[in-house]
């Protein structure tokens, strides 16, 4: 019996040496057994169609149209913690231009993992001259992570800095603040409605359509972290976690790893808060990344993060490609040649060298 046990342990040890990622993968594959979905929401149905009066749209949601005095006093701030996503930032500002009063853009000289990086927005300000009147830009200095700290240390520091940046930008009690990552883009009409209607929950998560690499690969409707809050002085703080049970359905797009160049993919993969997912150097090879983008497979070559086996099975392997470009952010379609890498059929990145 002891000999059998020794053989089993030795075999497992050899297997882990040959396949060091097996332990991590096993955790993902068994997640439905030992874990459960951490976030539970009450979903609010979302209604919109062209030419429907805003008063009617408010009523459909159980709200009412604000009076002009209240509406004129309400300003909208878009709080953006920025890294390198120039294209998505441009698309976001264009999408929300006529509803947002101030875009608060915060960037650092270091990644979440503590590695030095360029102040990308500062270096590309000339591309945003059209929006200069509405941009409040803040830069902070960060350094190597303190001993014992992980990437979430710098991420937390950035969120605290955003609280002060909003105050400096002039936010007041009663204003609306959008809190979401650069790649979590709220639909213009959805944010307009949230500004125009009275009775909207003071804290509201926004369900976004999840895409990977471009708008060719639709993943699911599980993106929920984006949210809007009615600002209260001394009580509202920047967050990217769950702050309420309420979730407005289908309110925009979350385009993850939607970059123009392969170099941007490599940078993101190594500076990401979960950079430990880069489990060997081969994952970062340009040819491999390019194939992943076109095939619609996982960028880290890992199992999907699912809480039921039904969901896991539906996400295993290659994502289904869509040929539809209907209902995308308007900036992409009005400048389609510039953003062809985000449209169906445009998967080849401009710096790919075959």
Q: Domain with 156 in it: what CATH number?
A: 3.90.550
Q: Of the residues 197, 224, 256, which one is the last residue of a structural domain?
A: 256
340's CB contacts (< 8 A; 6+ apart) are 346
Asked if residue 4 belongs to a domain, the reply is no
Portion of the chain with pLDDT greater than 70, in percent = 86
pLDDT of 247 over the 70 cut = yes
Return the pLDDT at 2: 62
* Burial class, 255, CB count within 10 angstroms (exposed 0-12 / middle 13-18 / buried 19+): buried
**Cα→Cα distances 245→1, 38, 174, Å:** 53, 12, 20
Asked if residue 26 belongs to a domain, the reply is no
- Kindly state whether residues 199 and 173 are assigned to the same domain: yes
Asked if residue 30 belongs to a domain, the reply is no
pTM of the entire predicted model = 0.88
Q: Of the residues 199, 229, 256, which one is the last residue of a structural domain?
A: 256
**Cα→Cα distances 243→53, 157, 227, 300, Å:** 31, 19, 9, 29
- Kindly state whether residues 129 and 273 are assigned to the same domain: no
Asked if residue 218 belongs to a domain, the reply is yes
Map residue 331 onto helix, strand or coil: helix
Asked if residue 315 belongs to a domain, the reply is yes
- Kindly state whether residues 226 and 303 are assigned to the same domain: no
Average pLDDT over residues 58-66: 98
Is the model more confident about 156 or about 340? Answer: 340
Domain that includes residue 126, residue range: 42-256
Give the total number of structural domains in the chain.
2
Give the other-Cβ count within 10 Å of 318's Cβ: 10
For residue 76, what are the β-bridge partners? Answer: 176
Distance CA 187, CA 122 (A): 26
290's CB contacts (< 8 A; 6+ apart) are 262, 347, 348, 349, 352
Distance CA 32, CA 37 (A): 9
Is the model more confident about 305 or about 327? Answer: 327
- Kindly state whether residues 194 and 98 are assigned to the same domain: yes
Full DSSP string of 233-287: TTT----SS---SEEESS-EEEEET--SSHHHHHHHHHHSTTGGG--SGGGG-HH
**Cα→Cα distances 305→230, 292, 314, Å:** 32, 18, 12
Task: Give the dihedral sign, CA 128/116/168/85.
Answer: positive
- Kindly state whether residues 56 and 169 are assigned to the same domain: yes
- Kindly state whether residues 118 and 151 are assigned to the same domain: yes
Map residue 70 onto helix, strand or coil: helix
Task: Give the dihedral sign, CA 296/300/301/302.
Answer: negative
- Kindly state whether residues 123 and 77 are assigned to the same domain: yes
144's CB contacts (< 8 A; 6+ apart) are 110, 114
Give the residue from 161, 48, 184, 173 showing the smallest Cα distance to 107. Answer: 161
Map residue 227 onto helix, strand or coil: strand
Asked if residue 73 belongs to a domain, the reply is yes
Residue 4: pLDDT band by 50, 70, 90 thresholds? low
- Kindly state whether residues 229 and 314 are assigned to the same domain: no
- Kindly state whether residues 96 and 149 are assigned to the same domain: yes
Q: Give residue-wise pLDDT tens across range 185-212.
A: 999 999 999 999 999 999 999 999 999 9
Asked if residue 276 belongs to a domain, the reply is yes
- Kindly state whether residues 216 and 266 are assigned to the same domain: no
pLDDT of 159 over the 90 cut = yes
pLDDT of 50 over the 80 cut = yes
Is the model more confident about 10 or about 130? Answer: 130
Q: Of the residues 228, 256, 284, which one is the last residue of a structural domain?
A: 256
Is the model more confident about 142 or about 336? Answer: 336
Asked if residue 211 belongs to a domain, the reply is yes
Return the pLDDT at 18: 47
Using CA atoms in the order 160, 129, 89, 293, what is the torsion angle rounded to 10 degrees? -140
Average pLDDT over residues 334-346: 97
Average pLDDT over residues 262-277: 80
Using CA atoms in the order 335, 337, 343, 345, what is the torsion angle rounded to 10 degrees? 160
| DSSP category for residue 45 | P
- Kindly state whether residues 301 and 242 are assigned to the same domain: no
Residue 22: pLDDT band by 50, 70, 90 thresholds? low
Average pLDDT, the chain: 89
- Kindly state whether residues 279 and 213 are assigned to the same domain: no
Give the other-Cβ count within 10 Å of 303's Cβ: 18
């Amino acid at each position: 019996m002891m000999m059998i046990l020794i053989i089993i342990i030795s075999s497992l040890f050899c297997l882990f040496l040959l396949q060091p990622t097996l332990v991590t993968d096993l955790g993902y594959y068994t997640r439905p057994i030992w874990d459960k979905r951490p976030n539970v929401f009450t979903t609010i149905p979302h209604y919109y169609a062209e030419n429907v009066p805003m008063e009617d749209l408010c009523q459909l949601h159980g709200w009412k149209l604000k009076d002009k005095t209240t509406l004129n006093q309400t300003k909208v701030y878009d709080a953006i913690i920025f890294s390198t996503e120039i294209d998505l930032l441009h698309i976001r500002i264009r999408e929300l231009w006529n509803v947002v009063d101030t875009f608060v853009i915060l960037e650092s000289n270091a990644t979440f993992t503590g590695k030095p990086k360029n102040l990308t927005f500062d270096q590309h300000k000339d591309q945003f001259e059209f929006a200069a009147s509405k941009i409040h830009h803040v830069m902070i200095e960060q350094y190597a992570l303190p001993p014992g700290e992980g990437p979430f240390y710098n991420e937390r520091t950035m969120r605290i800095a955003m609280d002060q940046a909003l105050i400096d930008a002039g936010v007041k009690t009663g204003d609306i603040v959008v809190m979401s990552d650069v790649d979590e883009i709220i639909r213009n009409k959805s944010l307009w409605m949230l500004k125009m209607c009275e009775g909207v929950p003071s804290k509201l998560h926004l369900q976004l359509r999840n895409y990977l690499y471009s708008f060719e690969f639709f993943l699911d409707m599980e993106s929920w972290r984006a949210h809007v809050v009615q600002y209260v002085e001394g009580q509202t703080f920047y967050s990217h976690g769950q702050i309420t049970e309420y979730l407005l359905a289908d309110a925009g797009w979350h385009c993850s790893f939607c970059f123009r160049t392969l170099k941007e993919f490599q940078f993101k993969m190594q500076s990401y808060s979960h950079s430990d997912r880069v489990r060997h150097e081969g994952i970062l090879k340009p040819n491999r990344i390019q194939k992943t983008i076109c095939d619609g497979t996982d960028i880290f070559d890992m199992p999907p993060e699912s809480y039921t086996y039904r969901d896991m099975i539906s996400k295993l392997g290659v994502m289904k490609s869509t040929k539809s470009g209907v209902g995308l952010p308007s900036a992409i379609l009005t400048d389609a040649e510039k953003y062809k890498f985000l449209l169906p059929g445009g998967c080849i990145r401009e710096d790919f060298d075959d």
